Amino acid sequence: MCGGSEIRCIELANAISKYTEHNPIILCEKTMPKSLYEFKNHEVQVVEHVLLPEPDNFEYLYKVDSLVVINTDCKEFSTLDYWEGKSTRHAVKIDMSRISQMVFLYNFIVSPSRHLHTISGKGVDVRILVTNRKFFEEISKQDRYEMVRHLPRMILESPINTKEIQRDKNACNKIRIGRHSIGSESKFNAGNLDLIKSINKRYEDVIEWDFMGVPKRDLKELKKIKNVTVRNTFSIPVAEYLQNIDIFLFFVSWKREEPWSRSVAEAIASGCPILATNKGGNKDQVVHGNNGFLCKEDEDFHKAIVSLIEHKDKIKIMGKNSLLYSKFFTSKFIANKLMKFIDLPT
């Protein structure tokens, strides 16, 4: 695919190659989309169809010192049956005695990790990475994780190449509010329309709304509002887009629990205050009242925007706080954090 897990994987490989003394290899179960190759540094090797018996690409699994499994949204990856070729995905039996370490990163769901004891029982050094504190604590608290609770575990944020993100905003006499994402309905709460209209009743002349990637459900209504700009998903580079955004509005569906949003992290790295739902990984990224606001209901977004409009100095203050926190998820910081956790010999 070409989603958050895959981009995370490539950026992590790039960072390991650039900032550590280790050599990353991206091993793909099937193929890697051509669109992802443009993100990859040329030093990073890619091996596709790693689990095909011919030409024995699975031998790469035995050559590496640590096998980091990124896209663990696929529940089968966390089971011994998958690695022994007993699942429907492939038929290659991997000799687990030849794999010294496996690190499983849970990006969107953590429940599959409860099966890892079947792999660690084969003598493999199994470790767990999660994207937020909620996942981390779930393993500690829920009985279904009893068999894996003893495994080494750490929170690892998604690495962001902050060097590509500009920290200086383009000048504007209006306050610019926006967000970028894919045009999924779950990533754009239907309440955004009411929010825009209610804020515009009083502040239409002092603000602009700018959204890159919106669902078809809301497209027609958004285009009717004169101070709203709607862009196609990734129609301009994210770094360029964020130079013209003062406040980042992450008003997603209340049912959605974003584990650790890359778009929020990019906005933090650009010096934006963040307005987000008080759920999932947002609580790890936003310090309420410090670099943004965590909102528990629709009305909270309205109050937060009004507060920032009425006290414009807070936008810069919170933006500076965001810049400070962004130092802790730069690609270099995350690559070195991972290396310490893996604890490879040098």
The 10s digit of each residue's pLDDT in 219-231 is: 999 999 999 999 9
Give mean pLDDT, residues 76-85: 95
In this prediction, residue 118 carries a pLDDT of 97
The answer for residues whose C-beta is within 8 angstroms of residue 279's C-beta and 6 or more apart is: 254, 256, 257, 258
The strand ranges marked E within the chain are 25-27, 45-47, 67-69, 101-106, 125-130, 153-155, 175-180, 207-212, 228-231, 247-250, 274-277, 292-295
pLDDT at position 319 over 90: yes
**What is the percentage of the chain residues whose pLDDT exceeds 70?**
99
In this prediction, residue 1 carries a pLDDT of 62
**What is the percentage of the chain residues whose pLDDT exceeds 90?**
87
Tell me if 9 sits within 8 A of 70, measured CB to CB: yes
Tell me if 279 sits within 8 A of 257, measured CB to CB: yes
In this prediction, residue 274 carries a pLDDT of 98
The three-state secondary structure class of 137 is helix
Among 2-16, 23-37, 108-122, the minimum mean pLDDT is found in 2-16
Write down the number of H helices and E strands in the chain. 14, 12
In this prediction, residue 247 carries a pLDDT of 98
In this prediction, residue 72 carries a pLDDT of 63
Question: What Å distances lie between residue 175 and 203, 244, 250, 278, CA to CA?
Answer: 10, 9, 16, 23
In this prediction, residue 7 carries a pLDDT of 87
Computed over every residue of the chain, the mean pLDDT equals 94
In this prediction, residue 28 carries a pLDDT of 93
Domains of the chain: 4-159+330-342 (3.40.50), 163-328 (3.40.50.2000)
The dihedral formed by the CA atoms of 280, 40, 45 and 91, expressed in degrees to the nearest 10: 50
pLDDT at position 215 over 80: yes
Local confidence band at 52 (pLDDT 50, 70, 90 cut-offs):
confident
Tell me if 257 sits within 8 A of 278, measured CB to CB: no
Residue 239: which H helix or E strand, with range? Answer: helix 238-242
For residue 205, count other CB atoms closer than 10 A to its CB.
8
pLDDT at position 35 over 90: no
pLDDT at position 56 over 90: no
The 10s digit of each residue's pLDDT in 178-214 is: 999 989 999 999 999 999 999 999 999 999 999 999 9
In this prediction, residue 2 carries a pLDDT of 65
The 10s digit of each residue's pLDDT in 246-263 is: 999 999 999 999 899 999
Tell me if 290 sits within 8 A of 284, measured CB to CB: no
The 10s digit of each residue's pLDDT in 101-115 is: 999 999 889 999 999
Give mean pLDDT, residues 55-63: 88
